[in-house]
């Protein structure tokens, strides 16, 4: 009898849960309100709340909302030799590169950095043929929902897809990391610099610098004398040198320093690779 008496209660709870998760906008808003209230009451921490909100939002987003636009894609050409490919791999810091044929709408496949390096280590560079290294490319429409794309990425173990528009032309690219970041937030990589370490030494003359680093701080670190009369940050100074918001991979020289854009969006620069002059010994560097 006790079991029978619990059945109506169980069915009522399941019915309410089903109504809450029905997918209607008002139900979704109500669900989010309940979750935020749970956070305020200490039943759900802020990180968990953010992730749940991200999961719900992913169902509303399409690939076009998060893709890297065609103009900002880092690509290689089918006829490029090792001497041209290696600098692209090293300077970009990416692990996968679309391989183009006759034009930017002809994507022949994807080159993995590890495949290139393995081939280069085991074969004569003079005999290099990129077609022996590339893997098949995955193509998805701009309109594909992110939750569907994530499920396909996981099922097929793909990490990158080429995004095509309604006419079949290349519109951009999207990676599994791009999708996951919509749920968990930005994922740090080897190019990220901590806020309390705006300048990081990567090599003898190479440094990674956050674009929001103040010019005065940059000058103190390098013993430089870049002008800060018009701009406060190194990103503003570099953008002015370009005369536009630059794209990832663009490079410019400001006085004796060479700046290459590691990361940027349509509005601003985020991260820079800096090549310092040979005679500069950073005052803020410990030599390690």
The phi and psi torsions of 193 (rounded to 5 degrees) equal: -120, 135
* Domain assignment of residue 43, yes or no: yes
One domain for residues 118 and 145: no
pLDDT at 189: 53
**255 conformational bin, left if phi > 0, alpha if psi -120 to 50, beta if neither:** left
* Higher-pLDDT residue of 279, 186: 279
One domain for residues 81 and 143: no
How far apart (Å, rounded) are the C-alpha atoms in residues 114 and 239?
33
pLDDT at 31: 73
* Domain assignment of residue 99, yes or no: yes
CB proximity list for 104: less than 8 A, separation 6 or greater: 70, 75, 170
One domain for residues 79 and 127: yes
* Domain assignment of residue 288, yes or no: no
* Higher-pLDDT residue of 267, 4: 267
One domain for residues 133 and 144: no
* Domain assignment of residue 281, yes or no: no
One domain for residues 79 and 143: no
Contact 173, 153 (CB under 8 A): no
One domain for residues 207 and 160: no
One domain for residues 216 and 252: yes
Question: Is residue 127's pLDDT more than 80?
Answer: no
Chain mean position to CA 208: 16
Tens digit of each residue's pLDDT (9 = 90 or more) over 4-51: 544 554 455 455 545 554 444 456 677 777 778 877 878 777 777 777
* Domain assignment of residue 86, yes or no: yes
- Kindly state the average pLDDT of the residues 246-265: 84
By DSSP bridging, strand 170-175 and strand 257-264 are unpaired
CB proximity list for 136: less than 8 A, separation 6 or greater: 109, 110
pLDDT at 23: 44
* Domain assignment of residue 35, yes or no: yes
Both tokens assigned to 51: 């992730």
* Higher-pLDDT residue of 38, 256: 256
- Kindly state the average pLDDT of the residues 115-141: 84
One domain for residues 228 and 207: yes
Could you say which of 99, 118, 137 is where a domain stops? 137
Which H/E stretch holds residue 253? strand 251-254
One domain for residues 154 and 118: no
* Domain assignment of residue 192, yes or no: no
CATH number at residue 82: 3.90.1280.20
Tens digit of each residue's pLDDT (9 = 90 or more) over 164-207: 998 889 999 999 988 887 777 655 555 555 555 788 888 778 89
How far apart (Å, rounded) are the C-alpha atoms in residues 221 and 91?
23
One domain for residues 159 and 121: no
Structural domains counted in the chain: 4
* Domain assignment of residue 120, yes or no: yes
pLDDT at 175: 92
One domain for residues 164 and 213: no
CATH number at residue 214: 3.30.465.10
Question: Is residue 249's pLDDT more than 60?
Answer: yes
pLDDT at 288: 42
Chain mean position to CA 63: 14
How far apart (Å, rounded) are the C-alpha atoms in residues 149 and 162?
12
Q: Is 153 exposed, middle or buried (0-12, 13-18, 19+ CB in 10 A)?
A: buried
Range of the domain at 89: 70-137
* Higher-pLDDT residue of 14, 122: 122
One domain for residues 121 and 181: no
Percent of the chain whose predicted confidence (pLDDT) is above 90: 28
């Amino acid at each position: 009898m006790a079991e029978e008496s619990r059945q109506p209660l169980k069915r009522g709870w399941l019915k309410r849960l089903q109504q809450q998760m029905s997918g209607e906008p008002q139900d979704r808003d109500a669900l989010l309100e309940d979750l935020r209230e749970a956070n305020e009451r200490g039943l759900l921490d802020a990180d968990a709340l953010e992730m749940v909100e991200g999961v719900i939002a992913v169902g509303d987003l399409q690939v076009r909302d998060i893709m890297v636009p065609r103009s900002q894609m880092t690509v290689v050409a089918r006829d490029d030799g090792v001497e041209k490919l290696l600098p692209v791999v090293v300077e970009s810091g990416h692990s996968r590169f679309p391989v183009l044929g006759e034009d930017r709408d002809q994507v022949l496949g994807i080159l993995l950095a590890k495949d290139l390096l393995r081939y280069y280590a085991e074969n004569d560079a003079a005999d290099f043929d990129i077609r022996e290294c590339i893997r098949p490319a995955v193509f998805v429409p701009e309109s594909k929902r992110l939750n569907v794309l994530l499920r396909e990425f996981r099922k097929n173990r793909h990490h990158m897809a080429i995004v095509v528009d309604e006419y079949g032309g290349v519109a951009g690219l999207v990676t599994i990391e791009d999708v996951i970041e919509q749920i968990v937030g930005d994922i740090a990589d080897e190019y990220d610099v901590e806020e309390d370490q705006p300048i990081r030494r990567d090599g003898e003359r190479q440094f990674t610098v956050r674009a929001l680093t103040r010019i005065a701080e940059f000058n103190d670190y390098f013993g430089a004398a870049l002008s800060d009369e018009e701009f406060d940050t190194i990103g503003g100074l570099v953008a002015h040198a370009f005369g536009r918001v630059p794209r990832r991979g663009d490079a410019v020289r400001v006085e004796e320093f060479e700046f290459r854009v590691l990361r940027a969006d349509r509005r601003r620069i985020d991260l820079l690779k800096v090549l310092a002059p040979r005679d500069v010994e950073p005052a803020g560097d410990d030599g390690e």
